Amino acid sequence: SHYRSVFVISTPEDKWATWALPLFPAFTHMTHNALDRMLNGPSIRDMRAIDANMYLVLSLRSFNRGHPMIPTNDPTSEESFSISAGEHLGLVSWTRFKSDEKFHLSEYMRCFMERLGHQLKTYEVMDGRKLVNYQCVVVRQEWEQLRAFFYQAFKVQKAAYRHANGGVTAPSLVEDAAPRFVSRNFSCCAEPQGIKTVVRNTFVEFDEDSDDSADCLKRSNSTGEVMACFV
């Protein structure tokens, strides 16, 4: 990875003394060497290698005929049905996963594994950016410990999906998928609506209790690729 370091130096005057000018190249060269040792040292390289393989992106595809299925604990529900292929796993009753809500793979994977008696931590954000709803992030080591249990039950899920929709199409899970991020939308900041303002002389104050302004402050376009230092 490459990093861009930005130094902002405040000075008491607009002009520099002549004797100080030769010090700037020495200062920047010294800083460059220090950052090079810090960011490219052996320990940092090892940490980068660990970080590169620490997380895994999962992506669900081929579920355009409705949300995927999930085991249910209520076989008497009108929306549930039985699949004989899951008898050996004790997963006979299935239902569609939250068909009245927007699908999020992170929530689905977490609930699916809970129905199997396992805990799986899932995340919707990667490197500070929100993933699309059909992707999520898991810790690779945790996933490798549970993936066999998941695929064994997910195979039955495919049969349940085909039973409910007909045809041969069924959802499938892709591991180590390329992450796809939600496009940032700063419309709330560009055209704030319903934000209370108070004008005091030449200052404009925003009402901190406003929900819209709070949501606006939570948005950020920082990529983490710039290191800033204020002196």
pLDDT for res 1: 55
The 3-state secondary structure of the chain reads: CCCEEEEECCCCCCCCCHHHCCHHHHHHHHHHHHHHHHHCCHHHHHHHHHHHCCEEEEEEECCCCCCCEEECCCCCCCCCEECHHHHHHCCCEEEECCCCCCCCHHHHHHHHHHHCCCCCCEECEECCEEECCCEEEEEHHHHHHHHHHHHHHHHHHHHHHHHHHCCCCCCEEEECCCCCECCCCCHHHHCCCCCCEEEECCEEEECCCCHHHHHHHHCCCCCCCEEEEEC
Closest-CA residue to 74 (of 27, 124, 45, 115): 115
pLDDT for res 6: 73
- Spans in the chain with pLDDT lower than 50: 186-195, 206, 208, 210-231
Give the global pTM.
0.64
pLDDT for res 213: 39
Q: What is the CA radius of gyration of the chain?
A: 26
The terminus-to-terminus CA distance of the chain in angstroms comes to 25
pLDDT for res 46: 77
pLDDT for res 191: 44
Q: Furthest-apart CA pair in the chain: how many Å?
A: 87
pLDDT for res 70: 95
pLDDT for res 185: 61
pLDDT for res 196: 53
Interatomic CA distance for residues 33 and 192, integer angstroms = 45
Interatomic CA distance for residues 141 and 143, integer angstroms = 5
